[in-house]
Structure 1
């Protein structure tokens, strides 16, 4: 039950909702319960007032090209539907279950994703790794206690794309005795905007669209300049200006960039509002993967060579013959390999905590950028799975939220800068430790993050079993597959190399060839959802080992897989898939595909 924010568009039409107070002590829980009880009636009232009548003062600022829109306090879904009809992908945040259900029933659209979340925290939204070209906050702000507004504004800014816009509408006039509200002014929004680096583009006033003479509205349109978060200057400082006695700091940044790009599903909200937390074991795993080929090639990582690297001990050496592809979430190790893996990750975690995480600090300060905490000793045993529980058992690693979001958005551009500086440092060290430098290409090859090869074997074997029993269907067309079939990467392998079980789907050959390397549209995914869920269940949920691998991989790669009321379910995996589709479309501008 929401406790902090009532339905976002509740004041666009009349409603008879009792409030428990008129100040910051009002009981929003009671108000939301009242909205739930009268959601159909209230939704009808909101829908009678057209979008253009309510928002005509900012109509010329609305984006003409399609993009990603966040509607906070989406109410009946009227505004979300208006954006969706014009080609935008919309995330509709609404804390009232009654309003969500009414809105979803009225405005069925594959371009609208409803999310049960609330200001000021927006905890679930932030876990989806989404960012938006437009954040839409209509008739919400006056329902937030003043003490929560700074936090709420900061969260809204954190999901804005560079160059993105935010619209906040504010109710003016005497407070209603039937609704809890706190006065809100455009001056307050302008102060918050200045503190967070946003530009005020326009402030407008208008009469109430429902005809209440005592009520008027202000609308404030804001814009975030490119990289208004300050994240990129800080990253540049760490890469190029920060003092370094080894390549450790660069290795840590590289590990975080890789996690943000390919394993962001493990990120959790931090204790405060300004950071996310990762499993320290996951950071250590990616650290080992980065260093393994460099140590094999004997490329120096500090001025005196590699003899005294703090993490290159028995465990790390014991993994030198293992493929980098073995060092990934979902893999299982036994006997001596398990002992080596635990030792290697434990040693890497200790090194990260003592060295780069301790010495990467904010400019002019001793405050660490990446505080981390080690848990108690992890027992060496003869069997281990690289899963969520194991990776968290090593400890936690905090990343400032603005850095995390910049890493997720710009990994493809940031990683080459990190690697170029890494190569420069290694070539400098070579002058002191070897007779001559290796070629630049040799360094690049050693630093290459080996992508998995196109591998569909497990999915194909499961599909063959279902085909033999007569229960194999193309997820895209619904056609029964009796002879020839192909295994399709749902999210295209060429754009996002991922052989995770959830991403491998049986397909008719013609549909797969027609789809090629295009990204399935939200409409295509929604249409395929029943068949996709059935495939996941039939192929992977009946075998306990495959079930565990499926869950580990989905939790690692997909955002929002644990956000449902029932925790991790196949439905929540599908929701995570939809959010990842949104991320790939935003970041890589992929062409979308719809079955003919």
Structure 2
């Protein structure tokens, strides 16, 4: 939005007067950094790391001194959010993993508020987007700044994750060509490449995530006619435990490059350290499965 010149404050249509838009932010803005590049798990070389570290540190400071400081409970001086800041660290190159993000500190959200945001996010998000769009247009009108129809809405549009199973498919093909037997993670039956599908364990329709931990080999008939967009039941998931863990070991952890990516993606999306025991990662995935059933009422797949 800043790059497009849309005003973020009254009498402002650029980064010069924004409190958080200091040297790091402006550098990322001018060198063409795409927001998708700042995802959790991304790795930056020294030059880009310097700008990214500065920009995140500036944003963290602004959050701590402004919204987190002034957001209070109704009729109370008690802050809604608790801020725990850490000392800024220097680095010649960085990986935006959980450990690095924790170096900037923590923003503690009350449990009841977090649960409400998760459950009602489908209604809260459109309201916030509409209100921010209205504010930008109000600022622009005061400045007699023309904003083409649809420009603000396009800038606020959520960028959907890319659905991709290619890496998991290549891993399955590699295993199939070796002396190891490729099997369907849900049925345990031998799986020839002619019947191979790559399934999202937690369905894409409910959890749009193509992280490696969420992808597994599945018989095409089981995937497309039985499981489809449903969440596996506790019984099916427990029965598939050893096959899921075995797939992770053969497909990802046996490959140095994929192993590092697998660990980063686990740490970013599941409540467990990506370098932990695979049994713990399975338990974290099972916890995420249960949350989908409870919070989103996703249909359950109960029989193979």
CA deviation string 1:530-556 (max 9, x = no partner): 111100111222234433332332233
Greater fraction helix: 2
Structure 1 residue runs without a partner (length 5+):
1-293
How far apart are the structure 2 equivalents of 1:521 and 1:434?
A: 57
**Whole-Å separation in 1 of the counterparts to 2:5 and 2:99:** 33
Question: Are the aligned partners of 1:324 and 1:450 in contact in 2 as well (CA < 8 Å)?
Answer: no
Partner residue of 1:585?
Answer: 293
Aligned pair partner of 1:315 in 19, 24, 34: 24
Residue 537 of structure 1 corresponds to which residue in structure 2? 249
Name stretches of at least 5 consecutive residues in structure 2 with no aligned partner.
none
Select which of 334, 337, 350 maps to 2:61: 350
| Maintained 8 Å contact 1:511/1:595 | no
State whether residues 318 and 337 of structure 1, in contact with CA within 8 Å, keep that contact through their aligned partners in structure 2.
no
Distance 1:364 1:570 in 2: 47
Indicate conservation of the 8 Å contact 2:173/2:193, yes or no.
Answer: no
Aligned pairs for 1:23-42 within 5 A: none
Match of 2:136 among 413, 426, 451: 426
1:446 aligned residue? 155
In structure 1, the partner of 2:283 is 575
Deviation sequence 1:482-512 (CA, Å, 0-9, x none): 3232211111112211111110111122122
- Is the 8 Å Cα contact of residues 346 and 378 (structure 1) preserved in structure 2? no
- Of the three residues 185, 209, 214, the one matched with 1:503 is 214
Q: Distance in 1 between matches of 2:64 and 2:36?
A: 25
Partner of 1:88: none
Are 1:300 and 2:31 counterparts? no
Deviations 1:66-101 (A, max 9, x none): xxxxxxxxxxxxxxxxxxxxxxxxxxxxxxxxxxxx
Q: In the TM superposition, what are the counterparts of 1:275-294 in structure 2 within 5 Å?
A: 294=1
Higher strand share: 1
The aligned residue for residue 40 of structure 2 is: 329
2:17 match: secondary structure: coil
Q: Which of the numbers 99, 103, 107 marks the counterpart of 1:389? A: 99
Q: Which residue of 1 aligns with 2:266?
A: 554
**Partner of 1:505: helix, strand, or coil?**
strand
Do 1:300 and 1:433's aligned partners in 2 also have CA atoms closer than 8 Å?
A: no
Does the Cα contact within 8 Å between 1:489 and 1:499 map onto a contact in 2? Answer: yes
Q: 1:434 to 1:371 in 2, by over 3 A?
A: farther
The question of whether the paired residues in 2 share the 8 Å contact of 1:486 and 1:506 is answered with yes
1:461 matched to 2:170? The reply is: yes
Q: Deviations over 1:214-238 (max 9, x none)?
A: xxxxxxxxxxxxxxxxxxxxxxxxx
- Listed as ranges, the matches of 1:213-252 within 5 Å are none
Aligned equivalents of 2:122, 2:184: Cα separation in 1: 33
C-alpha distance after superposition, 1:156-180 (max 9, x if no partner): xxxxxxxxxxxxxxxxxxxxxxxxx
Structure 2 distance, partners of 1:322, 1:584, is 33
Tell me by how many angstroms 1:594 deviates: 4.0
Taking the aligned partners of 2:135 and 2:88, their CA distance within structure 1 comes to 34
Deviations 1:104-129 (A, max 9, x none): xxxxxxxxxxxxxxxxxxxxxxxxxx
**TM-score under structure 1 normalisation?**
0.47
Q: Give 1:442 deviation, angstroms.
A: 3.0
**Distance of 2:70 and 2:141 partners within structure 1:** 26
**2:121 counterpart of 1:414:** no
Match of 2:78 in 1: 367
Farther off after superposition, 477-486 or 389-398: 477-486
Change (3 A) 1:481 1:434: farther
Matching residue of 2:111: 401
The residue that corresponds to 1:527 in the other structure is: 239
TM-score, normalising length from structure 2? 0.89
d(CA) in 2 for partners of 1:433 and 1:547? 52
| Higher RCO (C-alpha under 8 Å, 6+ residues apart) | 2
| Distance verdict in 2 for CA 1:322–1:473, change over 3 Å | farther
- Rounded to whole Å, the distance in 2 between the matches of 1:475 and 1:581 is 16
CA distance in 2, matches of 1:317, 1:456: 35
1:517 aligns with 2:225: no
For 2:155 and 2:197, the matched residues in 1 are separated by 34
Match of 1:491 among 202, 211, 236: 202
Cα distance, 1:302 vs. partner? Answer: 0.5
How many residues of Structure 1 are paired with residues of Structure 2 in the alignment?
Answer: 296
Is contact 2:198–2:216 with CA below 8 Å preserved after alignment? Answer: yes
Q: d(CA) in 1 for partners of 2:91 and 2:136?
A: 33
